[in-house]
Structure 1
């Protein structure tokens, strides 16, 4: 197992996922890719249109997410694990699967939180969809 991808959503379960990735990467001498898929920009935000404050807020959010990824990656590097943080925008499930193929990922690690019926009906479960659509092994960690 050479490459492990950890899908992070910055929803309070990151450290558990990173710890699992560390355990596996230590055992198999793997590289860890920490991936966060940020929501795509709204259609009205472009280079010339839309209110400036929305563009500024969005840029600040992306900068903050990137810094968090780098902090996590640096923490793994300090422990002797080759790690990189990736911040991309798009549809979460499709982007996780696309990046997994690009990076020749051997294992995807994702978290799962139990939600109520209405949440599942309207939002769905990212981890369940990744398991359904992935052609590679997926480790689902309960959060």
Structure 2
């Protein structure tokens, strides 16, 4: 069975991306491996006293993200496609590509939010990074927030 890595960020367009991946997985007889990469510094804040770490903030955020991943997994499974999920912390592009290699994935399906210009210059584009560095085919799905 083929494997599709599906990075999700829980934005409004994540459902569009999951719907596309479900259809693609059915066409090629593949399973979906959902991945969400959380920031490595979720519990850190900067204030008057410098950097402070609040483990409860990190714990609550990780619980929320796991719950959201589980919801997406249930959606995929309900559509008759095998699915697993994982939450990792790290640098998104590197973490996704490492996960794809570890799992001998056949494809990465990733969304493009259609941002350009200053956004890419200052923030960078995960989709652009993945397509440049990936050793396996990357399908870029145009996703647009409903608003």
1:43 offset after TM fit, Å?
Answer: 9.2
1:124 corresponds to which residue? 124
Counterpart CA distance in 2 for 1:43 and 1:77 is: 32
1:109, distance to aligned residue in structure 2 (A)? 0.5
Are 1:86 and 2:86 matched, yes or no? yes
SS in 1 for 2:68: helix
User: Which runs of 5 or more residues in structure 1 are unaligned?
Assistant: none
Q: Does 1:133 align with 2:138?
A: no
Q: 1:128 to 1:78 in 2, by over 3 A?
A: same
Q: Residue 62 of structure 2 aligns with which residue?
A: 62
Give the root-mean-square deviation of aligned CA atoms.
2.0
2:75 counterpart of 1:97: no
> Measured at CA, do residues 38 and 116 of structure 1 come closer, stay the same or move farther in structure 2, by a change above 3 Å?
same
Q: Deviations along 1:17-50, whole A, 9 cap, x unmatched? A: 11111111112221101111111136969xxxx4
Give secondary structure in 1 for the equivalent of 2:119.
Answer: helix
1:1-143 correspondence to structure 2 within 5 Å? 2-41=2-41, 50-51=52-53, 54-143=54-143
For the residues of structure 2 that align with 1:122 and 1:99, how far apart are their CA atoms? 26
